[in-house]
Every structure is written in structure tokens, then in C-alpha cells.
């Protein structure tokens, strides 16, 4: 059975829907909009660092909490940390451990989902922060959701050069758009300027070169990409095709199983695919389905 088929099998057992098939829903909670972001931007400063040429972005974690892009209270924080530990284990194993032989490009991780509003950005940000807490490597969080660019706005980096700029302009060095943050080991790449040929640029050889420059020379660097929904934008599938590991976020009780299945069909068999059931009250044990483990309790 292929990796994607295995993921689809696991999906069948997930308690996604209750009773009748639910219509697809998009955003249930509003994504952070301008006023909040502007408030954050006031607190996020770019400082010149004499020792290094890259700018430094000062991240105000309290402001991120108020924007509800980080867990709101200690209890939610503990639950998420517990869940992320389980998510991280196979990802790290594939990137640096025994699984590294199996999955090429496993240091590239994309967080995606079938539809909008399922928690891709929330998961990508919290996963990147959680990975950055491990001391052995750096984490490059890349905003690959060009139309929404929520990661860019969350870090107050709107208007800064980013992914699209180094793809569109071969004269620009990929490293130019990396922004250091005051969170140890966390680096960010903003989305950059929108481009009408985003899918073509994602498909180009330049894309592979840029990703290689960002990650290839740094054996201890992981990349985490936020992305658009797999079913809504063709560039999402193209972006995912460059990645060795894919984390698919599924909003519990909202997304139709068929939609998640269609999303999984857009991934390929060379990738590690892990599913996260987001916004559910299942324990962390039950809400992450990684493909190496066949036995998960689904009695609920």
C-alpha cells in the first residue's frame, strides 16, 4: 500500500463527521486582520546587527498570543506542546535519524490542508517555534501562502523581500531574504511580492535552487513552509512536490472526508505524510496519525 493510500486508510477511521455529511466550511474564526497586525507591527522592530548582515526581527510572543496565533492560556499551551512533541518525533527522525534514508529532502516540511481555515498557519508557526526550541539546529519558517501571507503579517514583515522576489529575480541571492529573529534558532522568510505566475515560479528550476541554497548547505537546518489549501490553489500542490515531509491539518468535525481524500491524492508516494486532527478534543495520542505506526486507538 502506498504512503498516501495508508494515510487515506487512517483517515477513514478519523471521527471527522458527526451524523450527516457536513458542508465544507471555510474560516470559522477570523484570521488576524490589519488592526491586530498593525498593533503587532508597532512592537516588532527591525534592528541592524553589526555582527551579521541579516536584519533581526524582534518577536513579541505576548502580542502573538493576543492575536490567537499562539495558545491563549497555560492549559492550551501544555496540550499543544504535548501534541507537537508527537508531531515532531517522526519529522525529526525522518530529517536526521533512521528515516533520513527513506525520505529525500526530509528537511523540507510543508504544512497544508484541504481547505482554508483548518489551522495551517497556526500549526506551521507553533511547529516551527517548537522545533526551534530544540538546540541542535535552526528552523527556517517560510511563508509559502502568497495570497494570504499570514506568517509575513504575523512577523510584521509585509513589504519586505521574500520567497517570490528571489524566485522572480535570478540576480538576488536567496539568503538575502532570510530574516533572523530574537527567538533562538528561528529564521523567517516572508512571502514577498505577489506574482501572477506563482505556480510557474514554484515549478521552476530556480525554486529547487533557492530551496537548496536555504537548506542544502546547512546540515543542521530544517525548513517549515506554510502554504495555501491543497484544493484551492494549484501552487500548493506544486510547493508540496518540493518537500520531503507533508503535515496535513484536518479540522475536526468540519472538513468532509472526501475533501481530505482529494487533498491526499495530490501528494506523492515519495513523501512522508502525517495527519493532524486540529480543533478536536481528542488527546494528543489520538490526534496525530503518522504513517509508520499502524495501531492507533480509534474507539471514540
Ligand X SMILES: Nc1ncnc2c1ncn2[C@@H]1O[C@H](COP(=O)(O)OP(=O)(O)O)[C@@H](O)[C@H]1O
150 binds Mg ion (CB under 5 A): yes
Nearest to 118 by CA among 245, 12, 284, 247: 247
What's the Rg (C-alpha) of the chain?
A: 18
Nearest to 44 by CA among 157, 152, 128: 157
- How many residues sit close enough to Mg ion to count as binding (CB under 5 A)? 3
**Among the residue ranges 43-51, 132-140, 145-153, 272-280, the one whose residues contact Mg ion (CB under 5 A):** 145-153
Among 44, 121, 123, 181, binds Mg ion (CB under 5 A): 121
CB atoms within 10 A of CB 218: 14
- 95 near 58, Cβ under 8 Å? no
With respect to Mg ion, which residue has the nearer C-beta, 112 or 130? 112
Q: Which residues contact 164 (CB under 8 A, 6 or more apart)?
A: 146, 191, 192, 193, 194, 195, 198, 201
- 260 near 251, Cβ under 8 Å? no
With respect to Mg ion, which residue has the nearer C-beta, 121 or 245? 121
- 114 near 255, Cβ under 8 Å? yes
Binding site for ligand X (CB under 6 A): 29, 31, 68-69, 113, 116-122, 150, 278-279
**Among the residue ranges 146-154, 208-216, 259-267, 281-289, the one whose residues contact Mg ion (CB under 5 A):** 146-154
120 binds Mg ion (CB under 5 A): yes
Closest contact distance (angstroms) between CB of 229 and ligand X is 7
Kindly compute the dihedral angle of the four CA atoms of residues 110, 125, 213, 221, in this order, to the nearest 10 degrees.
Answer: -100
Closest contact distance (angstroms) between CB of 300 and ligand X is 18
With respect to ligand X, which residue has the nearer C-beta, 45 or 194? 194
Closest contact distance (angstroms) between CB of 76 and ligand X is 7
Closest contact distance (angstroms) between CB of 8 and ligand X is 20
Binding site for Mg ion (CB under 5 A): 120-121, 150
Amino acid at each position: 500500500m502506498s504512503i498516501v493510500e495508508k494515510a487515506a486508510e487512517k483517515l477513514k477511521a478519523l471521527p471527522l463527521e458527526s451524523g450527516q455529511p457536513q458542508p465544507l466550511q471555510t474560516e470559522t474564526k477570523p484570521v488576524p486582520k490589519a488592526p491586530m497586525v498593525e498593533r503587532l507591527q508597532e512592537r516588532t522592530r527591525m534592528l541592524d546587527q553589526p555582527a551579521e548582515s541579516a536584519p533581526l526581527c524582534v518577536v513579541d510572543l505576548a502580542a502573538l498570543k493576543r492575536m490567537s496565533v499562539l495558545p491563549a492560556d497555560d492549559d492550551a499551551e501544555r496540550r499543544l506542546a504535548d501534541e507537537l512533541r508527537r508531531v515532531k518525533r517522526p519529522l525529526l527522525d525522518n530529517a536526521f535519524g533512521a528515516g533520513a534514508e527513506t525520505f529525500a529532502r526530509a528537511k523540507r516540511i510543508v504544512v497544508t490542508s484541504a481547505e482554508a481555515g483548518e489551522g495551517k498557519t497556526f500549526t506551521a508557526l507553533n511547529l516551527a517555534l517548537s522545533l526551534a526550541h530544540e538546540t541542535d539546529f535552526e528552523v527556517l519558517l517560510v511563508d509559502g501562502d502568497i495570497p494570504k501571507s499570514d506568517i509575513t503579517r504575523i512577523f510584521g514583515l509585509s513589504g519586505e523581500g521574500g520567497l517570490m522576489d528571489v524566485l522572480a529575480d535570478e540576480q538576488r541571492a536567496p539568503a538575502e531574504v532570510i530574516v533572523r529573529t530574537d527567538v533562538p534558532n528561528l529564521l523567517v522568510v516572508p512571502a514577498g511580492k505577489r506574482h501572477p505566475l506563482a505556480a510557474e515560479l514554484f515549478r521552476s528550476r530556480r525554486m529547487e535552487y533557492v530551496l537548496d541554497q536555504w537548506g542544502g548547505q546547512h546540515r543542521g537546518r530544517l525548513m517549515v513552509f506554510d502554504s495555501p489549501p491543497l484544493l484551492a490553489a494549484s501552487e500548493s500542490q506544486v510547493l508540496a512536490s518540493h518537500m520531503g515531509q507533508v503535515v496535513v491539518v484536518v479540522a475536526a468535525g468540519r472538513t468532509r472526508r472526501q475533501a481530505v481524500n482529494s487533498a491526499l491524492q495530490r501528494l506523492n508516494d515519495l513523501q512522508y505524510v502525517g495527519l493532524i486532527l486540529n480543533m478536536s478534543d481528542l488527546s494528543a495520542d489520538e490526534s496525530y496519525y503518522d504513517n509508520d505506526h499502524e495501531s492507533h486507538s480509534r474507539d471514540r
